[in-house]
Amino acid sequence: MNAAPVKPSVPKPATGLVALLIATRKGAFIFKSDKARREWKIAGPMFFGHIVHHMVLDPRDRRTLLATARTGHLGPTLFRSTNLGKSWKEASKPPAFPKAAEGQKGRVVDHVFWLTAGHASEPGVWYAGTSPQGLFKSEDGGDTWAPVAGFNENPMYAKWTGGEQDGTPDGPKMHSIMVDPRDARHLYLAMSGGGVFESVDQGANWTPLNSGVAADFLPIPNPEYGHDPHCVRRHPLQPDLLYQQNHCGIYRLERPATRWERIGMNMPKKIGDIGFPLVLHPRDPATLWVFPMDGTSVWPRTSPGGKPAAYVSRNAGKSWKRLDAGLPRNQGWFTVKRQAMTADAHHPVGVYFGTTSGEVWASKNEGEKWSCIASHLPHIYAVEAAEPTL
């Protein structure tokens, strides 16, 4: 990227309450803490019975929430709240692919999987990623959505995205849509499957960005695309710094370089470097957390050995430390999905994750000690830490 090398100043740590936006298979919940992050009040379920894959606070006004929803029977839609979830209004035109020409098979959005607020200079702009893979944009705060033709109708779309089998068991997904805080035209996205892609013209054209990333499930070495990034994060203070938790390891890339470096090889060999989520420290670009899972044999996708633990690196992946204090010592067989781990902006940073077995775990000291703040929720898809205005 040719963006000016302006290094933003490190923001002061947050001091207010934290809201955890929790999306589950049976609805959404909002957990609000006190300022000390000791007590949590739970609101919800919202959209009870709906499959909610993602709920996100608009960082530009810190009051608007968007949530994706569908049910097992009803088609996909989106809801928007401008009062932090007290009331919701459905999108009048949810993401949908164009109607196919007569005699041709058209694509159908199964569910909206991912939401990203647009650039600070573009209030009202949102991006959504769907299953099957599709990129959609709203310019009116999430009320009406249009396909981004530069991606969805790209002549390479079918090759980039593969087929229905090239994705997760409940459908291939687009996720990790990221807008450069220096330049609204500069976007990244990721797909399971497909890989990481970059656009420098606000989505009109896209380039694969997967060099150096393993794809050992493909028959060809070093493919240009077809990879399986599970979660990609860009550091807010160093927008040229990307981290990736992939189906085949943990990676780091500092642009303008284009070759990812596998930093997961420094994880303990018994644990490996497979997982779904990856979380960044809001003020320290060298600190990141992952939550490893078992990617051996038939891929159980649960914590290795039934002993759940997060791992943190304080030096950009050169070394890793196990963080399991407070977590089950054994017989813990849950999975933490790719959007289900997050960090707040306090000091020390609070780290949170939700499990497929419906537990929410919190640490207010950067993972040194965990406590379970909720159990018996439905299967958790996403947890986002936010700082709403009151």
Partner 1 sequence: MKVLIPSPLRSYTGDRSKVEAAGATLAALLADLDSRYPGIRFRMIDEQDAIRRHIRIFINGEQVRGLEVPLRISDEVIILQALSGG
Nearer to partner 1, 72 or 221 (CB): 72
Q: Considering the complex, what minimum distance in angstroms separates the CB of residue 100 from partner 1?
A: 6
Pairing of strands 229-234, 241-246: antiparallel
From 41, 48, 87, 100, residue interacting with partner 1 (rule: CB under 8 A): 100
CA–CA distance, 252 with 104 (Å, rounded to integer): 41
- Residue choice 13, 75, 163, 268 for contact with partner 1 (CB under 8 A): 75
CA atoms within 13 A on the CB side of 363: 22
Per rule CB under 8 A, is residue 103 in the interface with partner 1? no
- 67-75, 183-191, 285-293, 374-382 -> range binding partner 1 (CB under 8 A): 67-75
Tell me how far apart the alpha carbons of residues 334 and 332 are, in angstroms, rounded to a whole number: 6
356 — alpha (psi -120 to 50), left (phi > 0) or beta? alpha
Q: Which of 214, 163, 213, 216 is nearest to 193 (CA)?
A: 163
Of 12 and 105, the one with the shorter C-beta distance to partner 1 is 105
Q: How far is the CB of 298 from partner 1 (least distance, A)?
A: 22
Distance separating alpha carbons of residues 188 and 208, to the nearest angstrom = 10
How many beta carbons lie within 10 A of that of residue 92, not counting itself? Answer: 11
Cα–Cα distance measured from residue 190 to residue 60, given in angstroms and rounded to the nearest whole number? 23
Scanning 65-73, 162-170, 246-254, 346-354 for contacts with partner 1 by CB under 8 A, the matching segment is 65-73
Name the nearest CA neighbour of 263 among 214, 319, 314, 196: 319
Examine residue 40 and tell whether it contacts partner 1 (CB under 8 A).
no
Neighbouring residues of 102: CB distance < 8 A, sequence distance ≥ 6: none
Q: Which of 66, 67, 96, 174 binds partner 1 (CB under 8 A)?
A: 96
Write the single-letter amino acid at 87: S
Which residue in the set 34, 39, 90, 164 belongs to the binding site for partner 1 (CB under 8 A)? Answer: 90
**Residue from 15, 83, 87, 92 binding partner 1 (CB under 8 A):** 92
- Tell me how many residues contact partner 1 (CB under 8 A): 20
Residue of 43, 97, 144, 387 interacting with partner 1 (CB under 8 A): 97
Q: Which of 99, 269, 270, 376 binds partner 1 (CB under 8 A)?
A: 99
Give least dist CB 160 to partner 1, A.
Answer: 21
Is position 73 an interface residue for partner 1 (rule: CB under 8 A)? yes
Asked if residues 357 and 342 have their Cβ atoms less than 8 Å apart, the reply is no
In angstroms, what is the minimal distance from the CB of 277 to partner 1? 25
Per CB under 8 A, residues contacting partner 1 are: 49, 71-75, 77, 90, 92, 94, 96-100, 105-109
